[in-house]
Structures are given as structure tokens and as C-alpha cells.
Chain A
Amino acid sequence: MRPEAGRPEAGRGENSAETIPIRTGADVSRVRRSVATAMAVIGASRIETTRMVTAASELARNTLDYGGGGEVLIAVVGRMTRRKVELVFTDHGPGISDMSKALTDGYSTGGGLGLGLSGARRLCKEFEIRSVPGEGTVVKVASWTERP
């Protein structure tokens, strides 16, 4: 599945983008570290960084456990006054057949708490999910900092 809907928006400033494959549990740790670094680049607060890193951890693990692996694009975009970290998780797994159920607290097809996806949605300022059964899932989340 191509992440058409999830391309990070173009912007000026010191933009950067990095793609990290998600194939093992160690990759999930690597995603967390890279997201923390990106959040430091835009000067995010400690609480905002923790929220974004935790959401990234949930989504990366979903990509691994339910999507059968995939990748995440971590992009720092935006202008001087508003800088943004965007994450696009892509997998080519079985997809999500019932989206509203998947976003319900406590619903899990695996052995988890069923709070990862819905929790990540609450933790991020922007959250977008697109899934086609049999093709895969793309989740795009974002957080930003604003300076006057």
C-alpha cells in the first residue's frame, strides 16, 4: 500500500526525513529514539516529547505485530514559527477490516490491552489512519511547536 494520503507536507526551514524499517523489537526501540531526537530538533517540551514517543512506540509495535513489519518515515517539517514532526507508519499487512472497533478502547485481536491505537490517537495532536483490508495500513501522526 502506498502512503499517498500520508506524505509529509513540504515546508521551508531545516527539514529532514528519515525512514526506519520496522522488522524486530529492537527496531521499535530505534523508532522511539529517533522520534525523541526529532522532537528535540523542533524544541518540543518534555511532556509533548513523551507523548509523541509513546504514541510512536504503540504504532511501531502495531506495525510489527499486526502489519507483519513495515517502516516509518520520520520527518521534521515546517516554517520558522511552526515546526512539526510527522510520522508515517506503513505496512503491507492484512489491514484493518473494522476501523471503529479497532479504535475502541479495550478491543484487541492480539493479546494486548487494546489501548495502543486508541491511546496513540489521544496522545497526538494529529492522527490519521487509512487501511485497506488485504493491502495494508498507513497511520500518520504529527506534533508541532509554535513560536510567536
Chain B
Amino acid sequence: MPDSTGSNLPGLLSRYQDRILTDWIAAQSEVGVLRADLMREAELRRQSRSFLSHLIAATKNGLNFDIESEQWQDVRDMLTEVTNFRVDHGFTPTETATFILALKQPIFECLRDQYKDDPATLVNEAWSATVLLDKLGLYTNDIYLRGREDIIQRQQQEMLELSTPVVQLWDRIVALPLIGTLDSARAQIVMENLLEAVVESKAEIVIIDITGVPTVDTLVAQHLLKTAAAAKLMGAECIISGIRPQIAQTIVHLGVELPQVATKADLQSAFAHALKRTGVTFSATKPAHTR
């Protein structure tokens, strides 16, 4: 890394600010990161102008390559804004980083005009500009990834909450239809929701339906057993329904035993069983086939 002291880059940036800005916007259109389909040119112009003035402000008191430091705060905030805008509008990471990298050419051209007769300084200054802009370009990449990760995490959280509803089927009978993979994080939420529902609805019978669980391995079985045991401690009987033939076979081969839990092939039989247990009977008030 070159010695940052003595670089004339900051002075050059402010001297040629207008020219760099014009050339930069032109360069961005040229390399195709303007993406007129995704953002208006006025917006690009605004972002470019704002970034350049923040860059000049950050280097005013000398060039410092540590872009995590205090003096780069405004530039980092600006880059975060610029990147998040692009994440939201469907730009690729490459297009986002190119916003910064496209700044190289106009700066290099200014350097070339300024140091025509001094190749050594020209190379040094060009190197400084490259190091700096690469760092800032990579920084947008980090922000871009972070933006994506935030989205993924949010979606995971939403899925966790969405996929574990507790449904009241009848007085004192609740059902919990499980769909998807029952990993430890979800099992925890399932158990909490279920136990809360047991209290709220004074449930005596809890039906856990696993029709929508594609794989029942020993971990899933263990989570089911723990949930059933916890429900039992709270005075509710647990029925596991939706055990398909292939799941039944697999459970037997695994050697998992479910001694404390009533099991049924489908939700309908489990519900019928639950109604019987709670002493509810139905009778037809009219013959079934009259019109």
C-alpha cells in the first residue's frame, strides 16, 4: 500500500469535480450500469454528485485508505444508501460495484492530463486511486450481501411464524397442522405455540398433524415426543395424525417407539377420536338424502 501522505489526489478531485462528474455519468451509461429500466437518469445523477462531494469531503484532510475510519462515515452511509437502492431495484452485485469502479476512468484521465510530464507521480497517483476505489467498490459488495442476508433472515422468520398455526377444532380440542421441515428452531416455536394454545383454549386434546412433514427422522420424532410429553404435563392428551404408510414403515425401521402418544392415519380419524374422548356425539336431525 502506498504512503497516503503527499498524494495530490484530494486536490485533483475537487479541482476537476465537474469534469469528473460528467465523465463518470457518461462512463456509467457506456458500461451499461445506468439501467434506464431500473432507475431514472436524474436519480443516478443525484447519487453520483452526492457521492463525489462526500468523497471530496472525506479526503479533504489527506488521503486515508482505512475506509472503516471516522472520516469515511459519510461516504459509507452514502454507499449504503446507493447499494440498498440497487438491491431493492433489482441490480446485480456487479452492476452495483461498477457504479464505483466506473469512476476510475475519469479520474485516470484527469491524472494523465495533470501529470503528462511526470510518469512516476502519475503511476503513484493512479495506484492510490485504484486502491481507494477498489476498496469502496468491494464495500458495496459487502453491503449488497448484507442486504440480501437481511431479506433471507426476515423471510425465514416470517416462514417460522406462518407455518405453525394452532387451530381450534372444537371446544377443548386444538389441532396443529405441521408443514415442512421440523428442525430444532421450528420445533421450539411449535412447542411454545402449542403450550400457549393449551392454556388459552383450555384444551384437553391436542392433535399434531404431520401430513405435511416430508421426512420423519429420529430428530423429528424426538421433537414430537417432547412436545407430546410437555402437553401431557399440562393436562392435555396428544394425538399425532397424518402418519402415511411410508412414514409408519420408516419409524418402525428406525426403532422409534411412541408409547405415550395416540397415533392416527389421518386428521379425520384423530378428530373423531378426540370428540369421543371429550364425550361429544353427533346425530343427524334429518335423513341424509331428503331434498
Chain A residues proximal to chain B, CB less than 8 Å: 25, 28-29, 32, 46-47, 49-51, 53-54, 57-58, 61, 105, 112-113, 115-116, 118-119, 122-123
Contacts and interface: CB of A to CB of B under 8 A. Distances in A.
A34 B215 CA distance: 13
Given A50-B215, A58-B217, A115 B256 contact: yes
A122 B255 contact: yes
Interface in B202-222: 214-219, 221-222
B215 A25 contact: no
Interface residues of B, number: 21
B183 A116 contact: no
B246 A47 contact: yes
Is the contact region of chain B dominated by helix, strand, or loop, or is it mixed? helix
Contacts of A51: 246, 249-250, 253
A118 B217 CA distance: 12
Interface of B: 181, 183-185, 214-219, 221-222, 245-247, 249-250, 253-256
Contact of A123 (B222, B247, B253): B253
B183 A29 contact: yes
Contact of A113 (B216, B222, B245): B222
Given A25-B184, A50-B250, 14 more contacts: A47-B249, A49-B246, A50-B249, A51-B246, A54-B215, A57-B219, A58-B217, A115-B254, A115-B256, A116-B254, A118-B255, A119-B256, A122-B255, A123-B254
B255 A112 contact: no
Contact of A58 (B181, B185, B218, B249): B218
B140 to A, nearest CB: 27
Interface of chain A: mostly helix, strand, loop or mixed? helix
A32 B215 contact: yes
A38 B219 CA distance: 23
A79 B218 CA distance: 34
A22 to B, nearest CB: 14
> Which of B181, B183, B253 has the most A CB atoms < 10 Å from its CB?
B253
Contacts of B219: 57, 61, 112, 116
A140 B214 CA distance: 23
Contacts of B255: 105, 115, 118-119, 122
Q: Which 6 A-B pairs have the closest CB atoms?
A: A119-B254, A50-B246, A57-B217, A47-B246, A122-B253, A113-B218
Contacts of B214: 32, 53
20 contacts: A25-B183, A47-B245, A47-B249, A49-B246, A50-B247, A50-B249, A51-B253, A54-B216, A58-B254, A105-B255, A112-B219, A112-B222, A113-B218, A113-B222, A116-B254, A118-B255, A119-B254, A119-B255, A122-B253, A122-B255
Nearest to B225: A113
A53 B215 CA distance: 7
B181 A46 contact: no
Contacts of A123: 250, 253-254
Nearest to B250: A54
B113 to A, nearest CB: 51
Q: Of residues A28, A50, A54, A116, which shows the largest number of chain B Cβ atoms within 10 Å of its Cβ?
A: A54
Given A119-B254, A123-B254, A113 B221 contact: yes
Nearest to A53: B215
Nearest to B247: A50
B260 to A, nearest CB: 14
Contacts of B185: 25
Contacts of B253: 51, 119, 122-123
A116 B218 contact: yes
Contact of A116 (B184, B217, B247, B250): B217
A58 B222 CA distance: 13
B69 to A, nearest CB: 33
Contacts of B247: 50
Contacts of A46: 246
A86 to B, nearest CB: 19
A124 B235 CA distance: 39
A50 B244 CA distance: 11
A122 B215 contact: no
